[in-house]
Structure 1
């Protein structure tokens, strides 16, 4: 057995829990686990941003200032009800995700899948954020879809991209524009359903909100999201 991130040999701890549980498909060594910065403590109730990192002036009603501003806009209020992120996007995770997305280290999806909470996804439909055709061709796979597959959780591809420009390269005012970047390909699959959007990184929240907006407009009952990094 080896670590899915650094490939070092991993020896599982043989105890009663191990003996009576199904052997996991992937492992992470203690060294890599310690380099992952788990998000802990009080978070923004919408985006999972650690509130301890913010001055009180940037916190309003248990929301970070960014989410509070999103919620003040009638076009975006309540569109994305909550985001859950696992880790802070530190230098170690930045390198790991780069290997995963841009160098085709597909097994890293298994490392991330270990931390997916089945409770979060219970009675919900998983929808990976899609890539543009160009980026899918370049990478060979959708990283969000790969994480879900590695966890053995069923997902549906009901979203397609109609615009491929990176949201992180835009100003806040440009991100707030309602030009759609997604469309729903199979509306009947999400009508009256609770949806979980899956992506690798929560950066500004614009991509997830634009996806949530078209899902809500197509009849989804609720939309939350899950990302590996924040």
Structure 2
């Protein structure tokens, strides 16, 4: 079944309201209305802090969009999100001579439950090649943990990279960075695997708790 037909059937049989404003969308819209789509596109701005790139603060419309996309099974939203980030991520890859793109991995259990890796699906839509790191163990979703020390214990030594990173320019990609704990653990795994030339981070959105402290 092609994607467009699948979208039409979902709109017919299931809730097709806008992920953001919750109003009913038009027939040619999938899970996001024109007004909300235009608002997000207008608010998009590429921020650069050291080796970290991001497009949005994780709040308001973009927060609702990402939550609905990955937690409520609305994978068709990946098409819209891909269009939002496409120009910027391609520019980052080109300007930093990126050799390896690595989406933050999810556990096999969570993949089976959700049915897709939200970051990989976006990269697939854009046509960006990437290497898959492994998540060695199941962890508690980070958005459910408030305590900083518990976050560190939860994610400690969870990633494994079975490919060469020596003298490579690496770009780690994720949808949300909250405290930065997951990113730091991913970087640690890469540095234990080899000696990357440079490591960059691209996130669709970052939480104020992260950028106020680290950026």
Does the pair score TM above 0.5?
yes
Q: Match of 2:66, SS?
A: helix
Q: Match of 2:43, SS?
A: coil
**Residues 161 and 170 of structure 1: is their aligned pair in 2 closer, same or farther, counting only changes over 3 Å?**
farther
Partner residue of 1:162?
A: 137
Q: How does 1:1-230 map to 2 (within 5 A)?
A: 9=28, 29=34, 31-35=36-40, 38=43, 45-46=49-50, 82-114=51-83, 115-116=85-86, 117=88, 118-122=90-94, 123-124=97-98, 125-168=100-143, 169-176=145-152, 179-184=156-161, 186-188=162-164, 190-219=165-194, 220-230=196-206
Pairwise CA RMSD of aligned residues? Answer: 3.1
Work out the CA distance in 2 between the residues paired with 1:99 and 1:40.
22
Structure 1 contact 127–157 (Cα < 8 Å) conserved: yes
Give 5+ residue unaligned stretches, structure 1.
11-26, 47-81
Cα deviation digits, residues 108-165 of structure 1 (max 9, x gap): 1121222232120123111110111221111001001111111111111133333413
Q: Match of 1:187, SS?
A: coil
Structure 1 contact 131–161 (Cα < 8 Å) conserved: no
Rg (Cα) greater in structure: 1
TM-score normalized by the length of structure 2: 0.68
Give 5+ residue unaligned stretches, structure 2.
8-17, 20-24, 207-215
Cα deviation digits, residues 174-202 of structure 1 (max 9, x gap): 44568312112x233x2221111111111
Q: Post-superposition shift, 1:29?
A: 3.9
Task: Provide runs of 4+ in structure 1 moved above 6 Å.
Answer: none
Q: Post-superposition shift, 1:33?
A: 2.5
Q: Match of 1:144, SS?
A: helix
Work out the CA distance in 2 between the residues paired with 1:96 and 1:223.
28
Structure 2 contact 78–118 (Cα < 8 Å) conserved: yes
**Residues 153 and 44 of structure 1: is their aligned pair in 2 closer, same or farther, counting only changes over 3 Å?**
closer
**Residues 92 and 180 of structure 1: is their aligned pair in 2 closer, same or farther, counting only changes over 3 Å?**
same
